[in-house]
Amino acid sequence: MKADWRFLRLVAYLYVGTAVPGYIGVSRFGSHEALRSAVAAAIASLVHLMLGYFAIEFSFGKSNITFLKIVLGGIGLRLFLLLSAVFVMLRYFAFDPLSLTLSLLFYYILNLVLEIYLLENRVSVKNQQ
């Protein structure tokens, strides 16, 4: 498994590019709890994306059935882990529910776009070979 540094740089640019304006906006107009919740959502979402990236990279050279088992099974496992993390953050660490949920929704949509981009990029590279 070789790292796709172009994709990882894109992830870093997008997360920094969304985090900086988000940080400025929330710190200026929101509460400290809202800022803390947004940062926690960004971190949880980044972990979610990286687990998906590793699943795709690990399974890409395998057969189609194995690829689908790993990627689709990984989606279920990652969603369960994300839901567990949200439960723990809300229940035990008292994060702001609205800020956490909206930030997670934003980053989840961003992650879906990034994963589709990664898969499209991988398929186009594979078809060229």
pLDDT, tens digit, for every residue of 15-57?
999 999 988 988 888 899 999 999 999 999 999 999 999 999 9
What is the model's pTM?
0.90
Please say whether the beta carbons of 56 and 115 come within 8 A.
yes
Strand positions, DSSP E, 1-129: none
Domain chopping of the chain, boundaries:
5-123
* pLDDT of 62: 86
Q: For the range 67-70, what are the long-range contacts, defined as Cβ-Cβ under 8 Å and sequence gap of 24 or more?
A: none
Q: How confident is the model at residue 123 (pLDDT cuts 50, 70, 90)?
A: confident
Give which of 111, 87, 106, 92 is closest to 39, Cα–Cα.
106
* pLDDT of 64: 86
Q: Is the dihedral of CA 5, 10, 11, 17 positive or negative?
A: positive
Q: What is the pLDDT of residues 57-105, one digit of tens each?
A: 998 888 889 988 998 889 999 999 999 999 999 999 989 999 999 999 9
Q: How confident is the model at residue 1 (pLDDT cuts 50, 70, 90)?
A: low
* pLDDT of 87: 96
Q: Alpha carbon of 28 to those of 25, 31, 34, 40: distances in Å? A: 5, 8, 11, 18
Q: What is the pLDDT of residues 82-93, one digit of tens each?
A: 999 999 999 999
Please say whether the beta carbons of 103 and 41 come within 8 A.
yes
Query: Environment class of residue 113 by beta-carbon count within 10 Å: exposed (0-12), middle (13-18) or buried (19+)?
Result: exposed
